[in-house]
Structure 1
């Protein structure tokens, strides 16, 4: 049983509301990150005697969605999306890190390798609403690695 403040803080789950995102070399603010999961194909292996088992196959691509409020002159994501042309793409590494309450110490980092934009969605506009204009970017990446600090 935990008795000191340090032991208690190390056993408590980490809240998800304080995180930082770095796309390439640029730190960006996002309100939501989803899709931090990696899966593998499963392969049916059947032998000649009627037995079978499941085996892991190749890793599937990582699909990540980032959402943030739109602001004047913050056009990094649209510039990145517009840089895509036939058979050329600017792939970037992305770091997504959970931090402590102060936002200064990194606790867990998801290293996303070779990400590129597959979709850039603008906000839904309504003259009768008062919501913040949100943009959403969907990324596909080669690999996801988790690092505990």
Structure 2
């Protein structure tokens, strides 16, 4: 029995190749996003009777990497990291949304809160390659939430 298009949408996992990224109020094109991961430190508690217990501790920092092709005139990322001065930086909220094939309907969104840049990597240079120049922005954020739109 074959499934209709509507049944397929709710029955199969969402592909990861179609997504949107907004940094602050500006939508930007990226070819890869990684690091959306929440984890907690493990705290070991030992009682006086020889018992040993593990409990969740503080949440670890969220480290996100955004990769995109280098395009002439698009300097937003380098301007953002270069704006860091005397331990002050503009923190921005970021949203990463998975969309349908046409990019018109949002399926789910990760809303990242208080992100700031900690590194910007230039592309690798290789005269014997014909690959695109890709830059990587590394961010640290306080937390993120996930919202399902369907």
Please give the TM-score of this superposition, normalised by the length of structure 1.
0.94
Which secondary structure does the structure 1 equivalent of 2:66 belong to? strand
44 and 8 in structure 1: CA distance in 2 versus 1, 3 angstrom threshold: same
Q: Matched residues in 2 for 1:26 and 1:8: separation? A: 32
Deviation at 1:47, TM superposition (A): 1.6
Between 76-85 and 119-128, report the one with greater CA deviation: 119-128
Q: List gaps (5 residues or longer) in structure 2.
A: none
CA positional deviation for 1:65: 0.5
Alignment of 1:119-134 (within 5 A): 119-134=119-134
Normalised by the length of structure 2, the TM-score is 0.93
Residue aligning to 2:30? 30
1:94–1:141 distance in 2 versus 1, CA, 3 Å:
same
CA contact (8 A) 1:93 1:111 kept: yes
| 1:63-99 per-position Cα deviation (integer Å, ceiling 9, x unaligned) | 0001100011000000001100122111100000111
Could you tell me how far 1:5 is from its partner in structure 2? Answer: 4.1
Structure 1, unpaired ranges of 5+:
none
Shift of 1:6: 2.5
SS at match of 1:77: helix
Q: How many residues align?
A: 149
Aligned to 1:50: 50
